[in-house]
Amino acid sequence: MVLRITRWQMRGWCGALAVLIASAMPKPSVAQKPADDAALASVFKDWRSRQNLLKSARYVLTGTTEFKDEQLPAGNPIRPRRVTLLLDLTRKRYRMEGSEDVLSHNGSDDPRNWGFRSRMYTSAYGGESLQHYTHRKANGLENDREEDLSIGKGDLGPGAQFGHELSPIFLTHGIVPTVHSMLMVDKWPLAHDPDDFDVAGRQNLRGQNCLLLRTEPSPGMTSISDEFWINLQQQSAIHRLISFSGSNPWIRLDIYWKNTSYGWWVDHWSDTWSPNGRVRRIINFRVESFEPNPLISDSDFKLQAEPGMIVKVSEGPPLGKGLDPFKAASRTYRVLSSGEWEEIAAKGFTTLEGKELPPEWHRRWMAWTIGGCLAIGALLFYVSRRRWKKATL
């Protein structure tokens, strides 16, 4: 993982490795009836149509998190949360600002010492890097975190996911995550393979006749699959989405829609998280305001480094080089009053055997690669020229 990220990005971490393995393995195709194929084609067409409705959108979401742990501190277990989400749907960029209450153990195993703490967060992806403000002072983290601004580059890794609780916003725009195509901050699932889905019939949900789609389960020790309840009469709006781990519904989204000038649009939803078969969190969100096609600029999707800030820039390791994909190389800077960045620390990549490489290793690797290509090119040029000279004699 290349960036320290907030809890909303970590919700899908438990199944990320299994999902990545599953996506790389061949999946058996399922023969379906012609009517089922037509229904699936209609759903895909509706989702593509939703993708083209807007160029950008801004949402303000308000809601709550209900903590359902067996042991909780004193106080109301239903805590407020708020999110402002700006989407550049054309260039696949976002900016998010929010606040929520989290369960803090305060370094103690005794629930009497636990408490709820408010957290602010700001993150953005501008097409090249994932950025995150720590808000150290506001969050009371002056002794816990060093950097004020984290920047992740390269392969962001499976941890750079949007939280499941935000999925309904993306579903509204026809961006539908599945076990085979996760919703990453740097990769939005816009198209799907029909062979990944099985039409499982019809089900009634809240008085609506829904088409039931299931994804092919991932192979392995933890079989992960999805189930979609879709109203074909509402532009293939997804009214329920369940993610299964084996037979356990570990994530369930119940989504409520309303008819607007843009068609059927998300209004409110609940997200129930049930790891190991027991409900741990229930998140409820409502769209407080929605602004279609707001004016946006590149600066909206870039978090600024201010003088005095500590900035940590992490880089994911290149694939296929024997490096630990979960341990990034990083460089830490202090932003001077002049605006210049002064390097104060550096860390190299880590091999699969656990050996930490010097910070300059990746730069040397690039230099060796470029130098080797140039040398090979020069050799080929020399050989071809000698052959040409011999041929002209």
Q: Are 41 and 146 contained in the same domain?
A: yes
**Cα–Cα distance between 90 and 344 in angstroms, integer?**
38
Same domain, 231 and 317: no
Tell whether 141 and 199 lie within a shared domain. yes
Give the residue-averaged pLDDT of 241-261.
Answer: 94
Residue 133 lies in a domain: yes
Between 39 and 384, the higher pLDDT residue:
39
Domain membership of residue 353 (yes or no) is yes
Record the pTM: 0.81
Q: Are residues 95 and 210 in the same domain?
A: yes
Q: Is the domain of 350 the same as that of 383?
A: no
Is the domain of 347 the same as that of 246? no
Confidence of residue 33 (pLDDT cuts 50, 70, 90): confident
Last residue of a domain, one of 253, 282, 298: 298
Numbers of helices and strands, H then E, in the chain: 6, 16
pLDDT at 16: 43
**Are residues 196 and 68 part of one domain?**
yes
Residue-range definition of the domain harbouring residue 34: 7-298
Q: Which residues contact 351 (CB under 8 A, 6 or more apart)?
A: 322, 323, 324, 357
pLDDT band at 19 (very low <50, low <70, confident <90, very high): very low
> At 218, which helix (H) or strand (E)?
none
What is the chain's mean pLDDT, rounded?
84
The pLDDT value recorded for residue 74 is 87
What are the tens digits of pLDDT across the range 103-123?
888 778 887 788 899 999 999
124 contacts 302 by C-beta, under 8 angstroms: yes
